[in-house]
Amino acid sequence: MNLHALDLPFGLELETPRLLLCAPRDDEEIGPEINAVICASWSELRVWMPWAKILPTQEDSQMHARQTKWKWNNRSEFEFALRLRSSRRLIGRCGMHTIDPNVGRAEIGYWIDSRWSGYGLMNEAVARLIAFADEIGFQRLEIRCDARNQRSSNIARRLGFEREGTLRRVRFDNQDRLCDMEVWARLR
C-alpha cells in the first residue's frame, strides 16, 4: 500500500452524527487546547495511557501537536482531534499508529476527556476511524490495551474486533508494575 499516493490533506475532517474527527491543520496551534483536556482528565488518563507518566506542560502539548503534523505529512501516523459537531469543542483524540504499509496494518489508539466518557462517543469515533482505514486500504487493524482496561476492551468487542490473545507481562504501567496487554484485531 502506497500511503504517499493518497490524497490526505491537512485539515481533513471525518464526520459522525455527533463528532468531527479533525486531521491536523497546517495553520492550527492546538497544543493549549489539548493540554487543557489532558489536565482535566489526568487522574483517569494516567492509569491507562503509556504516554501519561508526567503531566505535560502546554509547551509539551504544543510540541506533540507539531509532531502530529509532521507524522501526518510523512504518513507515519494518522491522528485526529475529536470535536463535538455542535460546538467544535475538543474532547479527545484517536488515530492509527504503528503503521506497517507493507501489509496494510495499523494500531488504533484513543482517549477521551473523562467528562465525556460513558456517552458512546468513543465507539462512534473509532467506528468512523475504521471506515476511514477501510477506505484507504488497510487490511488489519489492531487495538492493544491493558488487560485491566475494561472500557477499552469493550470498544474493541462492540466494534467487531476479535480478541487474539494476551501478551503477559509485556510492559510496565505508569506505576512501574508489570502488566498484561490484550490484542484485539479486525481484518477487512
What gap in Å lies between CA 46 and CA 29, rounded to an integer? 24
Query: Considering the domain boundaries, does residue 64 fall inside one?
Result: yes
- Check residue 180 and give its pLDDT: 96
- Check residue 49 and give its pLDDT: 83
- Of the two residues 106 and 30, the one the predictor is more confident about is 106
Looking at residue 138, its amino acid is F
Query: Considering the domain boundaries, does residue 132 fall inside one?
Result: yes
Query: Considering the domain boundaries, does residue 171 fall inside one?
Result: no
- Of the two residues 171 and 124, the one the predictor is more confident about is 124
**DSSP per-residue letters across 161-178:** PEEEEEEEEEEE-TTS-E
Question: What is the grid cell recorded at 82?
Answer: 475529536
Query: Considering the domain boundaries, does residue 109 fall inside one?
Result: yes
- Predicted TM-score of the model (pTM): 0.92
- Check residue 29 and give its pLDDT: 83
Residues 93-146 pLDDT 10s: 999 999 999 999 999 999 999 999 999 999 999 999 999 999 999 999 999 999
- Span 7-15, average pLDDT: 93
What gap in Å lies between CA 94 and CA 79, rounded to an integer? 6
Structural domain count, the chain: 1
Here the CATH number for the domain that contains residue 48 is 3.40.630.30
- Check residue 125 and give its pLDDT: 98
Q: Supply the range of the domain harboring residue 22.
A: 3-139
Query: Considering the domain boundaries, does residue 165 fall inside one?
Result: no
- Span 39-64, average pLDDT: 88
Spatial contact of 83 and 89, defined as CB atoms under 8 Å apart: yes
- Check residue 71 and give its pLDDT: 95
> Over 90: is that where the pLDDT of 69 sits?
yes
Query: Considering the domain boundaries, does residue 154 fall inside one?
Result: no
- Span 153-160, average pLDDT: 97
